[in-house]
Structure 1
Amino acid sequence: MTRFRMKLTLTILGLISLVLLLMGVYFAKVLENSYLQSLHELLYRESRLLAQVVRFPEVFSQQGNLANQVEQIAPTEDVRVTVINNDGSVLYDSYSTARGMENHLDRPEFRMALLGETGMSRRFSETLGEDMMYVAVPVQQDGKTIGAVRSAMSMRDITDTIHNMWYSLLTGLLVTLVIGSVVVSRISFSIIRPIEEITRVARNITQRQFESRVRIKAKDEIGQLAGAINFMASSLEQQMYEISENQQRLSGVLNNMTSGVIFITEHRRIMLVNPAVEKLLGTPGHDVVGKLHIEAGKSFGLSQYIDRCLDKKEKFRQEVHIYYPQERILDVNFAPYINFKGESKGVVVVLHDITEIRRLEKMRSDFVANVSHELRTPITSIKGFTETLLDGAMQDEETCRNFLQIISDESERLYRMIRDILDLSKIEQRRIPLQKEQVHVQDVITSAVAIVNDTAQRKNLTITLPGTKPDIWLMTDRDCLQQIILNLLANAVAYTPENGSVTILTEVTHQQLRLQVIDTGIGIPESDLSRIFERFYRVDKARSRDSGGTGLGLAIVKHLVDNLNGQIFVDSVEGRGTTFTILLPGVEKFTERLQ
C-alpha cells in the first residue's frame, strides 16, 4: 500500500471514528441526563407527597406517627427517605436510626429546602457507601418552613447502564473500524489506482518512454485527467519523434559536410564541431567541446575574427591561414546566432578548406606563365631566323640551310610541346579510353629501350634490362604502360652524363608489378622532389631545355599511373642518380622459364 493510500485510509477511518465517538458521547450524555431527569422527577414527586403528608403537627411532631405515614406512602427500600426539622436534627430515616445520626443542616439539599426551595444534590454517601441522588423539599405549616423531607436513590443502576452503553459504543466502534477499514481500503484503492497509473505514466514520460498510456476508461474527473495525460504523451511522442528526426537530419548533414562547422556560445566556449573540423584542427571533437575557442582553435587569427563577430554581432567572410596541424588556407564565414527573442547567443563558424583551390590556382598561373615562356623561345627563334632569311641571308645556301634546320628543329619542339599539352589534358580528363589486355611486361620494356637506344649509344650509356627468367603478364593498357616506361627511360637518358648507366628492374609483390628505373644521372635536390611531377617544372632549366624536353614528361607519367590505379615514388641523391618506382595492379600470372 502506498503512502498516500495509507494516509487516505487512515484519514477516512479517523473521521469515521471521530464522528462515531462524538455521536456516542452526545447520546450517552443525552441518555444520562434523561435518566437523571427521570430520577429527579421521581424523587421530587415522592418528596412532595411526603411533605404534604407529614406537614401536620400531629404527624411531624410524633416520630411514631411520622414513621408510619412515611412507610405507608414510601414502603419500597429502593428509596431512602429522611425527615429533619428546621434545626437540622433527623426526625426519621428509612435506612438508619434517627437518634444515632448526625445533624444534617450542612447538607446542601437541606439548606436549600429549609430556605423554601427544592434542593438537589449528587454525592457519595458515607453511610451507604455509594453514589446517591438527593432531592429535598420544605415541610411548611401556615406558610412557615418547619423542616424538610428528602428522598434519595442510589446511582448504581444509572451508572451501570451508562457503563454498558459505553462498552457497547466502544465495541460498535471497533467493529465499525474493522469493517470500515476493509471498505475504506477498497474505496481508497479505487481512488488511488488511477492516480498511481497516471503517476507511472508520467514517470515513464520523464524517462522518455513516450509510448506509455493510462488505461482508465472512467468518465469522471480522473478519467478526464487520464485522457489529458494520454493526449500529452501522444503529443510529446510525436514532437520528440520530429525533434529526433530533425536532430538526425542535422547530424547527418553536419557529419557529411566537407566544410567544417563550429558553434561558439556567448561565453566564448565551443559547444559543437563536426568531423570536418576535427580533421582541420587535428583534434577529436570531445577534446575541444567545452573549451575556450582561443584555446582549442590554436589560431590567433581565427579566434580574433570570432571575438569580432561576438562583439559586433555582424556577419562577414574572411580568408584565414592556419598552421596547425598543417598549413591550410581557409575561407571562413562568421555569422552571429540570434535566438527567437532576438538575442545574440553565439557564433556559427563555417570553414571551407581552399588550400587545394589556391594551389591549383597557383599551378594554373604557373602553367600559363611556363607555357608562355616555353612557347616564346621556339617562336622567337623561328621568327628571328625567318626575318634573317628574308633580309637576304637566304642567298647564302649554307647559311640558309642552317637557319632552315634550326627553324625545323624549333618547329618540331613546338609541335611536341603542343602535343604533350593536349595529351596531358586528355589524360587528366580521362578522355583516353583504356584498352586493357594481357601485356607481356618484358616485351614492352624491350620495345621502349629500342626507341631510346640510339640516344643512349651516342652518350655511351649502359641500359640494363630485367632478367627474362620470370615471365610477367599484366592486365593493363599496353600503350599507357609503354608511354610510362618510355618517358622514364627518356628522362633517365637525358639527365645521365656520358658513360653512365640506366637499370630497369621488375618484381611481383602482392599481385602488383613493381617496376624501377634507376639511373646514375645528376640527381634531384631534396627540396625539388615534391614538385618534379608539376608541368614544366625543371630542376636545371638550362640543361633541361638543351635536352629537348618539353617539361611535361613526368607530369604525363604521374597521370597515366593514376589512371591505371597505380602509384609512383621517387628517390634521388643529388649528383649520384635517381630511382623511379612504380606499383601497378593487375598481375595475371608469371612463370619461371628454364634456361
Structure 2
Amino acid sequence: MKLTGREKSELFFEGVVTVILLLLLNLSIVVLINSAIAHNPGLQSGIFQIKRSIKIGPTNYQLWSYENLFIALMLVADGFVLYWRLIRRYKQMQLRHIISELHYIAAGHFDHRIGFSLTGDTQRVVESVNALVDSAIHSMDEEREIERSKDALITNVSHDIRTPLTSIIGYLGLIENKQYQSEEDLLKYSHIAYLKATQMKSLVEDLFEYTKVRQTDTPLAISRLNLTAMMEQLAASFELEAKKKGMQIEVESGAESLFIEADAEKLGRVFNNLIANAFKYGAGAKHIFLQAEQRGSEVIIHVANDGQRIPADSLGRLFERFYRVEESRSKATGGSGLGLAIAQSIVQHHGGYIYAQSDDELTSFVIHLPIKHGQQLVKTAANRAN
C-alpha cells in the first residue's frame, strides 16, 4: 500500500512528537530519581554498595554510574514505544484506505477490488472484504438471472397458452354464432377445440410439475426400488403405443436385478418423459432401448432410440425450458418443451445428473444415479461437454 504525501508527513510528525514527549518524560524521571537520591543518604549508600558488587565481563568491569545504565534502558524502552506508535498510526492509515476502497465499491464500482497487499490481520480483512464483494456480486448476478428466467418463463408460458386458447375461442365462437353448415362441421369445430384444450391442460400440468420438482425442499418418497422390474413394466405399458408408431421397446439390464434407493413415482416420470420424447421426436426410429448397469456406487441408465440424429450444437440446450430443436422438435408435436427440464430436475434432486449423446446410429439420454440415497454424484470430465 502506497502512502500519500500527506500521510507520510503525518507519520513523520507523529514520530517527532513521540520523540519529544519521550525525551521530556525521560528527563522528568531522571530529575525525580536524582532528587530522591540526593535527599536520602541511606539510599545513596545502598546504591553505592550495589554498584561495587555488580561486575560485568571478563575484566570485572564495575558500574560506577547508574545514570548510564538507566539511560540505556530508557532508550531501549523509548525505541519500542516509538515503533509501537508509528505502527499503530500506519495501521490506522491502512484502515482508512480500506474504508475508502469500500466507499468506492459501494458507489457502484462493483468490478473494483482492493488491490494492495498488507500483512497479518489487516491482509485477512482485505481478503475477506474482496471475498464478500465477490459473493455479493455473484448473488446479485444470480438474482438477475432468476428474474430473467422468471420473465422468460412467463413469456413462453403465455405464448404457448395463447396459441391454443386463440384457436379454442375461435372455434367456439363459430359454434356460438352458429357459423357452421352441418353437424359434421359442428363436430369438427368442437373436436379441434377439445384437442387444443387438452394441449393447454398438458402444458399447465407440465408447468406445475416443473415448478414442483425445482423446489429443492420438496421431500422425496424414498424406497428400495427394483430398477429392472420398473423398466420392464414401463416397456409393457408403452408397448401398444410403440406398435402404433412401428417401434419396439427393448430392455437390457443383465441377469440380476438392480436395486436403488429412489422415489419411484418421480423416477417413473423421468422414464415416461424420455420415452415420450423418443416417440415424438425420434424421427425414423424403429427401436427404443432401455439399458441399466451398476458401476461402483452408481447406476448408469441409457434411454436410447435409433432415430434421427440431434445436431451437436443442440445437445447442450436440450434440457433448457421450452427449447425445441429446429424442424424435428416443432410445436406441431404438441409438446410443452418442459419434459426434459422436468427429467433433469428430478435426476438432480436424487443426487445424479443426466446428459444427451447423439450420432448417426443412436440418440441416448444417459442418467447417472447413486445407489444409496443421500449421495451426490459429480459429473466426470468425460461428460462435462455434454
- Fold conserved (TM > 0.5)? yes
Change (3 A) 1:351 1:432: closer
Change (3 A) 1:200 1:548: same
Shift in Å, 1:369: 2.5
Alignment length, in residue pairs?
297
Q: TM-score scaled to structure 2, two decimals?
A: 0.64
Q: 1:546 aligned to 2:336?
A: no
Contact kept, 8 Å, 2:304 with 2:364, in 1: the verdict is yes
User: Which residue of structure 2 aligns with residue 578 of structure 1?
Assistant: 363
- The equivalences for 1:398-413 within 5 A come to 398-413=184-199
- The equivalences for 1:215-364 within 5 A come to 261-263=112-114, 274=127, 355-364=141-150
Show CA shifts across 1:193-230 (max 9, x none).
3344444555666887xxxxxxxxxxxxxxxxxxxxxx
Change (3 A) 1:469 1:264: closer
Change (3 A) 1:470 1:199: farther
- The equivalences for 1:126-145 within 5 A come to none
Q: Which consecutive unaligned segments of at least 5 residues does structure 2 have?
A: 1-51, 103-109, 117-122, 374-386
Change (3 A) 1:200 1:564: same
Over alpha carbons, which structure has the higher Rg?
1
SS for the counterpart of 2:63 is helix
Instruction: Judging by fraction of residues, say which structure has more helix.
Output: 2
SS for the counterpart of 1:262 is coil
User: Which residue of structure 2 aligns with residue 376 of structure 1?
Assistant: 162
Contact kept, 8 Å, 1:461 with 1:498, in 2: the verdict is no
Contact kept, 8 Å, 1:516 with 1:581, in 2: the verdict is yes
**Higher mean C-alpha displacement, 418-427 vs 464-473:** 464-473
Task: Tell me which amino acid in the other structure corresponds to 2:63.
Answer: R
Change (3 A) 1:184 1:360: closer
Change (3 A) 1:379 1:511: same
SS for the counterpart of 1:424 is helix
Which of 460, 466, 485 aligns to 2:252? It is 466
**Higher mean C-alpha displacement, 364-373 vs 556-565:** 364-373
Show CA shifts across 1:278-312 (max 9, x none).
9x99xxxxxxxxxxxxxxxxxxxxxxxxxxxxxxx
Q: Distance in 2 between matches of 1:491 and 1:499?
A: 12
- The equivalences for 1:498-509 within 5 A come to 498-509=284-295
Contact kept, 8 Å, 1:260 with 1:276, in 2: the verdict is no
Q: 1:186 aligned to 2:63?
A: yes
Q: Which has the higher contact order (CA 8 A, sep 6+)?
A: 2
SS for the counterpart of 2:316 is helix
SS for the counterpart of 2:310 is coil
Change (3 A) 1:431 1:454: farther
User: Which residue of structure 2 aligns with residue 527 of structure 1?
Assistant: 313
Q: TM-score scaled to structure 1, two decimals?
A: 0.43
Instruction: Judging by fraction of residues, say which structure has more strand.
Output: 1
Contact kept, 8 Å, 1:566 with 1:585, in 2: the verdict is yes
Give me the identity figure in percent: 25
Q: 1:414 aligned to 2:200?
A: yes
Shift in Å, 1:417: 0.6
User: Which residue of structure 1 aligns with residue 266 of structure 2?
Assistant: 480
Change (3 A) 1:544 1:577: farther
Contact kept, 8 Å, 1:507 with 1:515, in 2: the verdict is yes
Contact kept, 8 Å, 1:538 with 1:544, in 2: the verdict is yes
C-alpha RMSD of the superposition: 4.1
Contact kept, 8 Å, 2:285 with 2:308, in 1: the verdict is no
User: Which residue of structure 2 aligns with residue 536 of structure 1?
Assistant: 322
Shift in Å, 1:554: 0.7
